[in-house]
Structure 1
Amino acid sequence: MAAHRMSATPQGKVPDFYISAGNLKVHPVLHKTVEETVCPGTGFSPAYFWNCLEHLTLELRPEVERCLARRDELQDKIDAWYAQRKQSGTDLALPEHRPACHQLLKDIGYLVPDRGPVSVTSQFIDPEVALIPAPQLVVPSDNARYVLNAVNARWGSLFDALYGFDVIPETKMQENSGGGAAPPTAGYNPLRGEAVIEFANGLLDEIAPLASGSWSEVTRLWPKFVGQSQQLNLLMKSGVTTSLQTPNLFVGSSGNLGPPTANNIPKAASPCVSDIGRIFLKHNGLHLILEIDRNDPIGQSALSGIKDITVESALSAILDMEDSVSAVDAMDKSRLYSNICGVLRGSLEAPFVKDGQALTRCLNDDIWFRDAKGEASSIPGRGIAMVRNVGHHMFTDMVYTQDGKQVPEGFVDCIITVSAALHDLRGMSRFMNSRTGSVYIVKPKMHGPEEVALTSRLFGRVEEFFGLRRNTIKMGIMDEERRTSANLRECLREAAERVFFINTGFLDRTGDEIHTCMLAGPVVKKPDMKKEPWIKAYENMNVDVGLFSGFQGKGQIGKGMWAKPDSMKAMLEAKICEPMSGASTAWVPSPAAAALHSIHYHRVDVPSRQMQISTRPPARIETLLEPPLIRGLMPSKEEITHEARENAQAILGYVVRWVDLGVGCSKVPDLSGVGLMEDRATLRISSQLMANWLHHGLITAEELEAVFTEMAKVVDSQNVRDKGYTPMSQDPSSNIAFQASLKLCLDGQNAPNGYTEYTLHEARRQVKARGARSRM
């Protein structure tokens, strides 16, 4: 089995067209990107850049190889232990065997000794990261327009998010129409608009209540000096003037907003009274901007003249170079690197066409207003940009060393990310990203403390190369691998001076859970996985360890992605559980989702909630390590077939777009037609579960292939309107995407840690090579 794993650096003949850079051989496309995009303005030459990468590789690649070999060694020992007991007839799903398994993990070094409490001491963390709970966007960095949308999603239209999704039910519109059916309209639906205004007024009553009355009765708003500072005055339709119950929620204003005169008080709500301006409120650290414009059709329809509420939403955005992108070669990666350079230097633009008009999207300017004392003040127009590099297991043939070995891809990611950020650190960027002088890199797929320590050394060496203050490069730890979860406190110890977040990734974490206990027995169905004891222990332990280590006020404790991008009503109902769990941030799939998820951080005082949680008993490691094995009766043949069909359809629906179109993050409809966000993490679960059931005989290879063949027709029909789509079902045996999908399951047991990257990269390269040949 070990022969199928990847603990040694890939090696091969260096193509003749590669360019020499010191002792490195570099793909011409990457060489050009570094020379023309990465290095200019940094004060460092391309030659120095390549020299730094060469030194990094010589120093730390052996450590990467040792870490990967250690992964293989531990998995082999776990596999052998499980296999031996299964052969003797032991039912490892029974709880009586867990103490022995726990002891094994200690004996082999999977569980490292607990050295006691640890204190996170990271400094120079931006307040958006350390102090203010808020949503977080994750965006594939290969699409410039999406990247700009994500960074600009610090601010979002609440009215647009409510109007454009299912938060406002049809029944509410029927109520507003007097009980009859809400008439469909091609353009703006005033009944739906009325329901949006009603929702917004209710939200304001909830988070910024008035001293008397309701926001639905407000007819005019204006700032008024009381002594040395302003307060917000509000005129009610009764003619009475009131204020905010908590006056200091008002933090400023802009525009032309004045009090009513004696002769127009009775007509204060009339559209003929011109009011255009903005009222700035701040609650739980997040701003809300009341956009007042009585000349606007929506402002005219609202008694208060409020045409929208701009809500401060995603205070940070992760520009992803990992699970949500399809980047398999120098051309792909160079596009990612260029976009990241553009964001961190404030220069990224994306042309697009809307309603036949050519437009250009760019980064938002800061927002200026007069604060409560009448002084000019500003709020950043953009969220903090963070960059997720690839994990330690990835190597790249973009760069070879002198001995013909590939360079760790994460090394290239890191040194380019930091090079791109040098403009920001020196105040040379058009827009400032970090106001505290930090670079935020999220590092995924780390297994245990030794790999966190390796990342910390990598960051430290890059700081030395570029003359940066120690711990300038901050580390985000993805708590998504089982060995990291089980040793999380020791992982934090290895990065205590530079860690800025710990984030649970349920999807990848489940994939690693299945792979680790692959030989122990068949695991539960995917829908049942969230009911397993280890899940709750995992989510709670992440918060417990973070709080006990002093994370509050130092960084983010994060939760995972909402996977149904069209189901915003369900998100608004369910995702409040994440701030309630003590998380200071959670992932959302779109700017609209960020705007709606921000409501939860107004409804939950996260720091207070964290103080409550810190008094509970911590989650138990024994529960965390309970394998999700089927207990009792095995699923029926019908249940097995249904589960196989659902997983096969999800795998095919995602892989075909990844392999054929180079799309790394897709909204894939499930068998019921519900669009679900799929990336490599969801693929890892589905393929590992099928590999597990295949190994334990719940399904045969022939049955699995038959299910995949059936589901290929379903996926083809779901993509029939996509002009760039190539059907799989016409000739599955020669279809690269179909064969890659099947391989992920048939060979999933032997895939390193259950990762899907190797199979996907190979298949995508085949498709790209075939396309290149056809153009010759």
Structure 2
Amino acid sequence: MVRGRNTAQKTVTIGLRHPSKFVGYDHADDGLSILLKNHNLHIELQVDGDDPIGKTHHAGIKDVLLEAALTTIMDCEDAVSAVDAHDKARVYRTWNGVMKGTLTETIEKGEDRKILRLNEDRHYISPTGKNLTLPGRSMLLVRNVGIHLYTDAVKTADNQEIPEGFLDAMVTALAAKHDLLGNGKHRNSKENSIYIVKPKLHGPEEVAATVEQFGYVERVLGLKENTIKLGIMDEERRTSVNLDQCIYAARNRVVFINTGFLDRTGDEIHTSMQAGAMLPTARIRGQPWLKNYEDHNAYIGLKRGVAQVGKGMWVKSDEMAEMLEAKIVHPLSGANTAWVPSPPAAVLHALHYHMVNVAQKQKEILSAMPSTLDDVLSKMLVPPLLSAAANGSLAPEEVQNELNNLVQGMLGYVSRWVGQGIGCSKVPDIQNISLMEDLATLRIKSQLLGNWLRHEDQIVSETTVHDAFKRMAEVVDGQNAEDAKSGKYAPMYGNFDGPEFKAAWALVKNAHKAPNGYTERTLRYYRRLKKEILAAA
């Protein structure tokens, strides 16, 4: 029971509608913390009638703390621009610091200086008087790069580059061994496991190869078999179609699957590059293949009992009210995790899991699952071709608007990736709305523009696209004017031979040649060129 403040008439005593949801409390100098639990997520009510905010609340509540982002993926892939040994060392050093619990970051703003550290655990007393401890940090997974990339950070005896995924697996697992040995003050895994997410896998054969690789790493590092758990990203067509077989190939390791609709859209365009011109991006999202892809992933994941079934990113990083309205569809679809672009977004998205009983929803989905998924698969394999759409043509203004949006977004992102070494960031679109941009969104844009160039007799000419790049370079320069003043940003308009502009254009011009439509090789070439220019200046 919680006793409220005295009123002029009486003291009001209020209890919980569901008393079993009260799971703990803590007395502190600055008030009382009440711990509740709903749908397996915790909520902390912080009560302090003397606090400036608490004074304004009839029960003295000064704040509500939501448990959110129970798991977080640290990234060696889409979110970073790591093109050489120096960059890779920085990525590994950060992961190692987290696993040891020693990572700090100093934030300076004016004369204020703040040192950020990993959060401490949170301690409570249970209703029966026992100590209760909750982790103050997310449980971390680490995403390695895909198997298609090579690196010269380490070379073979005959001076050849090695698969970068081999290096990632070995070093990230070695760093995570600190956690298994208890070398830090905090623990990441309660199950003495290491969690590695592997992107851009094409079918069960590549999943099996990853499982074999993890086994080798375990033997080298002296780890028990199956210590390294695997997260499978269902973001390539061959994996989508064969997801059941992919999970089986990793049956002793898989803990996580998710739909990556951004990369999956890029792969869909590239796979059918020669089949015909594709719809604009907004209309692609409305095609049947995408919904059936999402449904198929949930069906297979739930059927096979995968611990985490995830959904894709919310890219409008500043549009939180819209996200709160829209992203509830993910738990309603049976997903128990999803990508968000920021900590505030994670807290707001946690509300959806209080509103939806996902465990119950998953049971309902499984009971209603069709006996065969043949119809779902057949619809998932229909490419989003313009010729197959109800309106199989595009008005000139629709083409121009799409062209401007795609080109401006590409230049905005590539200029930061190549020019500043920023792998993922908020990039203003043509309406100056900040969007989360990474390699996946770039893959879509470059592949769609490349597709339209392959079918320019139907859509747009190469000259028109190149002219759009020149026009939008001036727009992007204006959006980065402040960074240009400080020397962080190199203007592109009038400097069309600069590495930033050339990288973006090359991604479109050679889109049909890029393996699976991946952008990393082009970006890395021009980023290394930019670093040479900066070093020589």
Q: What range describes the TM-score normalised by the shorter chain of this pair? A: over 0.9
CA distance in 2, matches of 1:532, 1:243: 49
Q: Which residue of 1 aligns with 2:434?
A: 675
- Cα deviation for residue 642 of structure 1 reads 1.5
CA distance in 1, matches of 2:148, 2:221: 25
Q: How does 1:182-261 map to 2 (within 5 A)?
A: 232=2, 239-255=11-27
CA distance in 2, matches of 1:517, 1:256: 61
Q: Which residue of 2 aligns with 1:39?
A: none
User: Contact 2:3 / 2:11 at 8 angstroms: preserved in 1?
Assistant: no
Q: Which residue of 2 aligns with 1:686?
A: 445
SS state of the match for residue 750, structure 1?
coil
User: Contact 1:234 / 1:243 at 8 angstroms: preserved in 2?
Assistant: no
User: Contact 1:344 / 1:385 at 8 angstroms: preserved in 2?
Assistant: no
- Cα deviation for residue 232 of structure 1 reads 4.9
Amino acid at match of 1:753: N
Could you say which structure has the greater relative contact order, defined with CA pairs below 8 angstroms and 6 or more residues apart? 1
1:580 to 332, 340, 350: 332
CA distance in 1, matches of 2:197, 2:352: 24
1:342 to 97, 112, 124: 97
CA distance in 1, matches of 2:24, 2:367: 38
Amino acid at match of 1:670: D
Amino acid at match of 1:578: H
SS state of the match for residue 23, structure 2?
strand
Change in Cα spacing, 1:658 to 1:234, as seen in structure 2 (3 Å) is same
Change in Cα spacing, 1:418 to 1:671, as seen in structure 2 (3 Å) is same
Q: Which residue of 2 aligns with 1:754?
A: 517
1:696 and 2:455 aligned: yes
User: Contact 1:235 / 1:242 at 8 angstroms: preserved in 2?
Assistant: no
SS state of the match for residue 213, structure 2?
helix
- Cα deviation for residue 236 of structure 1 reads 8.3
1:725 to 471, 485, 489: 489
TM-score, normalised via structure 2 length: 0.95
User: Contact 1:236 / 1:242 at 8 angstroms: preserved in 2?
Assistant: no
- Cα deviation for residue 730 of structure 1 reads 2.4
CA distance in 2, matches of 1:607, 1:770: 54
Amino acid at match of 1:716: D
Which structure's CA Rg is the greater one? 1
- Cα deviation for residue 281 of structure 1 reads 0.8
SS state of the match for residue 614, structure 1?
helix
1:310-331 per-position Cα deviation (integer Å, ceiling 9, x unaligned): 1101101100110111110011
1:705 and 2:466 aligned: yes
User: Contact 1:322 / 1:389 at 8 angstroms: preserved in 2?
Assistant: yes
Q: Which residue of 2 aligns with 1:382?
A: 137
Amino acid at match of 2:429: D
Change in Cα spacing, 1:450 to 1:483, as seen in structure 2 (3 Å) is same
Q: Which runs of 5+ in 1 are unaligned?
A: 1-230, 258-274
Q: Which residue of 1 aligns with 2:272?
A: 517
Q: Which residue of 2 aligns with 1:404?
A: 159
1:620-654 per-position Cα deviation (integer Å, ceiling 9, x unaligned): 21111001101353212222121111100000000
Q: How does 1:106-145 map to 2 (within 5 A)?
A: none
SS state of the match for residue 704, structure 1?
helix
SS state of the match for residue 446, structure 2?
helix
1:595 to 347, 372, 376: 347
User: Contact 2:2 / 2:13 at 8 angstroms: preserved in 1?
Assistant: no
User: Contact 2:5 / 2:58 at 8 angstroms: preserved in 1?
Assistant: no
TM-score, normalised via structure 1 length: 0.66
Amino acid at match of 2:21: L
User: Contact 1:232 / 1:250 at 8 angstroms: preserved in 2?
Assistant: no
2:506 to 737, 740, 743: 743
CA distance in 2, matches of 1:306, 1:537: 45
Q: Which residue of 2 aligns with 1:351?
A: 106
CA distance in 2, matches of 1:694, 1:442: 34
User: Contact 2:474 / 2:492 at 8 angstroms: preserved in 1?
Assistant: yes
1:557 and 2:309 aligned: yes
Q: How does 1:418-457 map to 2 (within 5 A)?
A: 418-457=173-212
User: Contact 2:88 / 2:153 at 8 angstroms: preserved in 1?
Assistant: no
SS state of the match for residue 531, structure 1?
coil
1:257-290 per-position Cα deviation (integer Å, ceiling 9, x unaligned): 9xxxxxxxxxxxxxxxxx7121111111111111
SS state of the match for residue 352, structure 1?
strand
Amino acid at match of 1:713: E
Amino acid at match of 2:36: L
Change in Cα spacing, 1:615 to 1:701, as seen in structure 2 (3 Å) is same
1:499-532 per-position Cα deviation (integer Å, ceiling 9, x unaligned): 0100100000000000000000111100111111
CA distance in 1, matches of 2:441, 2:107: 31
CA distance in 2, matches of 1:249, 1:496: 35
CA distance in 2, matches of 1:419, 1:426: 11
Q: Which residue of 2 aligns with 1:614?
A: 366
Amino acid at match of 2:33: R
Count of residues in Structure 1 that have an aligned counterpart in Structure 2: 523
1:526 and 2:287 aligned: no
SS state of the match for residue 317, structure 1?
strand
Q: How does 1:9-20 map to 2 (within 5 A)?
A: none
User: Contact 1:232 / 1:247 at 8 angstroms: preserved in 2?
Assistant: no
Amino acid at match of 1:576: I
Q: Name the Cα RMSD after superposition.
A: 1.4
Amino acid at match of 1:312: E
Q: Which residue of 2 aligns with 1:625?
A: 381
1:635 to 381, 386, 394: 394
CA distance in 1, matches of 2:6, 2:82: 57
SS state of the match for residue 743, structure 1?
helix
CA distance in 2, matches of 1:292, 1:550: 40
- Cα deviation for residue 256 of structure 1 reads 5.8
- Cα deviation for residue 358 of structure 1 reads 2.5
- Cα deviation for residue 353 of structure 1 reads 2.0
